[in-house]
């Protein structure tokens, strides 16, 4: 009798208590050797594999583990190391980290969003011929086999997606011809080692492609399967539906992985219309790999029943919709969540359990899992009755705004004149993005307060002391616009979620954002509502210490949405509008308390952009509406700032303009030239700061280097428009890194300002 099987596409790297992050950071600080790092991460990797085996997976992914980023892994594996990082006197692992983080002499490679997720990858730079330096999937395959007896499913980023994410090449076809033989070498070695299946990820298939781009897949995979006939390839897609279903299922591979969660029903429709090839394997993503809610088992079983009408059981694999990299590890460690909320959640381990449960229900009949289905139905019934799921006041406010379009009272050109009179800033004003270094003692103080070991009075005094110290530092540096530093904030989204209705929080539900940077997204389970002032005390205190303007700092509605795990019973746009209405009240309160520069950060605006071009405008329109709803009520001489990062801005520059923010600051240090070109063609007329140095690297750029960045921008932007700032918040950097870097930045601004003044006098 043949059976349906189970699999996963990938598993979280970080460990239940972020062991991965802590080990990496000890190594980077020089507190442990590379050998110890490798040993610790191997132990974690094997633990993760054993857990997946114990949870009942048939196909266990190997090679999905990374020391930093899987795209960077692929680049280094194929010898695509930028020339500036080629050093003979260090290990390949150290070179790998240098590419990601930079070093004293070289700027780190660009970092940007992984499709429409909150994960960031290192953009491969192609300035050399590829060559195979190491077969990473083979190493991890052999490790799993030798250490645990697991014949794993190696995971490899596909060549077409890899090249589409890279930059620096001129001839796509020629470089692909160089790269594919190296993929073939990797796959041949895997086949010789005993691998039966290899998962090759090609998520680019879920974007809008041209016919020529689609033709690459036929060419590449025909060559691979001809050269490696003894290895079965599973071509894996995720995050959206495939527009080219007939062509993709006909590709010369043994299996196709398809997302049945985020496809909006398109894949079922395509299957019913076109069928599925006899003898091929369908890896069906029927568990949500990106959100944290328990699966609707009945709905999934109905989907599986539909699939089984068109394919045989031996052709079917059940799995999550994408890698579980995007969700926390386990709910087992969450001891403080209310039971009715915790019982509604499923993190990575629970999602694998759900896959195993569905497999059992298919192979043994629904009656075999009837009790689990009944228990789930009871769980959802209790969850729907949780206080706060529906807030009548919020619903009334939504109705009041229905059909209305928010906007500032005056156009930007008139506001700009009023703001210039109000603030009297010099040409090329200097500022920072918002957060300042979160040192160990700040984190300890916050933890002591949360545990009740510190009184509110003691904690508040500590925060005020740090704020005052950094106001002094900023004044001494000569910055023109100051920030209070956000020392009271653990995270730019979690902090606000804790003060708004409709959110709940976890202890250990961390996910990787970039490198060792992990975030703990709040969970939106009900209507979002403003309860009381969230930022007034700290902002007003900081402003009382200086005559210079201090920016009030809020996280924007789209970013709060995109960096949270969001309820799935209403449309995301409605949740965003609820958040915007709450922030609107906070901005009014800040203004009433004398804060006249208000920064509403939207670093995640672009990451939520749908992969399909036909869906993008609707999303962008909703984003503009929410931002303007939050900010439109302030006075004309109040200056609204926003900040964005990790984005291909050329794609959304019109939307950026429509936000109607008075000043926008943009992460640009790793991709300065490309971004300047975008503004050159668009003709942006509002004020803007293009980040002049990369805060994600510990490297401190020279004054001259920053001057060159400013001067380059002024070839496109008017001096009256331009602000000088780092490219992102300084939370993750040390005081010893921040002070000299900001000093260089201020000096660079002064030098360029003096040149501008001299030119204007002539």
* All residues at 6 or more sequence positions from 350 whose CB lies less than 8 Å from its CB, including other chains: 294, 330, 331
Q: How many CA atoms lie within 13 A of 642 on its CB side?
A: 24
Q: What is the CA radius of gyration of the chain?
A: 26
* 322 known ligand binder: no
* 643 known ligand binder: yes
CA 209 – CA 663 distance, rounded (Å)? 35
Q: Are 382 and 340 within 8 A, CB to CB?
A: yes
Helix or strand holding residue 584 (H, E): helix 572-592
* 517 known ligand binder: yes
Q: Return the sign of the alpha-carbon dihedral for residues 555, 594, 536, 745.
A: positive
Q: Return the sign of the alpha-carbon dihedral for residues 82, 84, 90, 96.
A: negative
* 472 known ligand binder: no
* 434 known ligand binder: yes
* 607 known ligand binder: yes
* 18 known ligand binder: yes
Helix or strand holding residue 245 (H, E): helix 245-249
* 433 known ligand binder: yes
* 657 known ligand binder: no
CA 69 – CA 121 distance, rounded (Å)? 6
* 21 known ligand binder: yes
92 phi and psi angles, rounded to 5 deg:
-65, -35
Answer yes or no: 744 catalytic: no
* 728 known ligand binder: yes
Residue 534 carries which DSSP code? Answer: S
Place of tokens 């300890």: 444
* 645 known ligand binder: yes
* 718 known ligand binder: no
Choosing from 70, 120, 672, 696, the catalytic residue is 696
Cβ-based neighbour number of residue 355 at 10 Å:
27
CA 277 – CA 284 distance, rounded (Å)? 14
H helices of 11-119, in order, are: 19-28, 34-54, 70-77, 92-101
* 518 known ligand binder: yes
* 475 known ligand binder: no
* 685 known ligand binder: no
* All residues at 6 or more sequence positions from 692 whose CB lies less than 8 Å from its CB, including other chains: 669, 701, 706, 709, 710, 724, 725, 726, 727, 745, 748
Length of the chain in terms of residues written: 762
Q: Are 141 and 190 within 8 A, CB to CB?
A: yes
Q: Return the sign of the alpha-carbon dihedral for residues 656, 513, 259, 209.
A: positive
* 34 known ligand binder: no
β-bridge partners, 61: 153
CA 117 – CA 290 distance, rounded (Å)? 9
3-class secondary structure, 504? strand
* 59 known ligand binder: no
* Residues contributing to the annotated binding site for 5-methyltetrahydropteroyltri-L-glutamate: 18-21, 113, 118, 517-518, 563, 607
Binding residues for L-methionine: 433-435, 486, 601
Binding positions for Zn(2+) are 643, 645, 667, 728
Q: Looking at the annotation, which residues are catalytic?
A: 696
Name the binding residues for L-homocysteine. 433-435, 486, 601
| Residue positions forming the annotated binding site | 18-21, 113, 118, 433-435, 486, 517-518, 563, 601, 607, 643, 645, 667, 728
């Amino acid at each position: 009798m043949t059976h349906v099987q189970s699999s996963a596409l990938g598993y979280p790297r970080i460990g239940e208590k972020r062991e991965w992050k802590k080990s990496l950071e000890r190594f980077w600080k020089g507190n442990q050797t590379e050998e110890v790092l490798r040993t610790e991460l191997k132990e974690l990797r094997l633990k993760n594999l054993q857990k997946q085996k114990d949870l009942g997976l048939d196909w266990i992914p190997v090679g999905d583990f990374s020391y930093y980023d899987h795209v960077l892994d692929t680049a280094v594996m194929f010898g695509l190391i930028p020339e500036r990082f080629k050093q003979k006197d260090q290990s390949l692992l150290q070179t790998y980290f240098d590419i990601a983080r930079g070093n004293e002499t070289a700027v780190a490679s660009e970092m940007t969003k992984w499709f429409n997720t909150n994960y960031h990858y290192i953009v491969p730079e192609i300035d050399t011929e590829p060559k195979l330096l190491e077969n990473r999937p083979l190493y991890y395959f052999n490790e799993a086999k030798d250490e645990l007896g697991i014949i794993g499913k190696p995971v490899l980023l596909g060549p077409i997606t890899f090249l589409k994410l890279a930059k620096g090449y001129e001839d796509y076809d020629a470089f692909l011809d160089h790269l594919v033989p190296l993929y073939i070498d990797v796959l041949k070695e895997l086949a010789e080692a005993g691998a039966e299946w290899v998962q090759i990820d090609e998520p680019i298939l879920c974007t809008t492609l041209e016919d020529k781009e689609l033709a690459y897949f036929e060419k590449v995979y025909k060559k691979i399967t001809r050269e490696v006939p003894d290895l079965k390839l599973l071509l894996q897609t995720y995050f959206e539906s495939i527009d080219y279903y007939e062509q993709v299922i006909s590709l010369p591979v043994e299996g196709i992985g398809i997302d049945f969660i985020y496809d909006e029903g398109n894949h079922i429709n395509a299957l019913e219309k076109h069928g599925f090839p006899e003898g091929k394997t369908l890896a069906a993503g029927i568990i949500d790999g990106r959100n944290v809610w328990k699966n609707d088992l009945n709905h999934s079983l109905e989907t599986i029943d539909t699939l089984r009408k068109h394919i045989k059981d031996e052709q079917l694999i059940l799995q999550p919709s994408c890698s579980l990299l995007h969700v926390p590890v386990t709910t087992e460690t969450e001891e403080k969540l209310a039971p009715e909320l915790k019982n509604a959640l499923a993190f990575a381990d629970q999602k694998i359990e759900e896959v195993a449960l569905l497999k059992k229900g298919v192979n043994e009949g629904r009656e075999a899992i009837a009790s689990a289905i009944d228990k789930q139905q009871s769980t959802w019934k209790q969850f729907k009755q949780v206080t706060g799921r529906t807030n009548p006041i919020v619903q009334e406010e939504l109705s009041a705004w229905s059909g209305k379009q928010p906007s500032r009272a005056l156009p930007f050109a008139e506001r700009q004149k009023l703001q210039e009179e109000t603030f009297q800033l010099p040409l090329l004003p200097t500022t920072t993005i918002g957060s300042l270094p979160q040192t160990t003692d700040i984190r300890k103080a916050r933890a002591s307060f949360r545990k009740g070991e510190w009184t509110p009075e003691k904690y508040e005094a500590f925060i005020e002391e740090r704020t005052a110290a950094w106001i002094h530092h900023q004044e001494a540096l000569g910055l023109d616009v100051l920030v209070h530093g956000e020392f009271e904030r653990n995270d730019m989204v979690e902090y606000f979620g804790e003060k708004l209705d409709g959110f709940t929080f976890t202890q250990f539900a961390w996910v990787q954002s970039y490198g060792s940077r992990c975030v703990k997204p709040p969970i939106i389970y009900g209507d979002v509502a403003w309860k009381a002032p969230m930022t007034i005390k700290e902002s007003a205190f900081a402003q009382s210490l200086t005559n210079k303007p201090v920016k009030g700092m809020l996280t924007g509605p789209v970013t709060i949405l995109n960096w949270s795990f969001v309820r799935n019973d209403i449309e995301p746009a409605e949740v965003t509008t609820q958040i915007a209405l709450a922030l609107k009240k906070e901005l009014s309160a800040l203004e009433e308390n004398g804060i006249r520069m208000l920064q509403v950060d939207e670093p995640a605006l672009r990451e939520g952009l749908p992969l399909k071009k036909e869906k993008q405008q609707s999303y962008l329109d909703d984003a503009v509406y929410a931002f303007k709803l939050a900010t439109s009520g302030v006075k004309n001489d109040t200056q609204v700032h926003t900040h964005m990062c990790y984005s291909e801005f050329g794609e959304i520059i019109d939307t950026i303009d429509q936000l109607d923010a008075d000043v926008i600051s943009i992460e640009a240090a790793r991709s300065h030239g490309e971004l300047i070109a975008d503004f050159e063609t668009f003709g942006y007329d509002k004020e803007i700061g293009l980040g002049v140095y990369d805060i994600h690297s510990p490297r401190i750029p020279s004054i001259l280097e920053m001057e060159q960045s400013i001067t380059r921008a002024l070839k496109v932007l008017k001096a009256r428009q331009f602000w000088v700032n780092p490219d992102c918040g300084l939370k993750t950097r040390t005081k010893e890194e921040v002070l000299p870097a900001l000093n260089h930045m201020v000096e660079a601004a002064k030098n360029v300002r003096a040149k501008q003044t001299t030119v204007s006098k002539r």
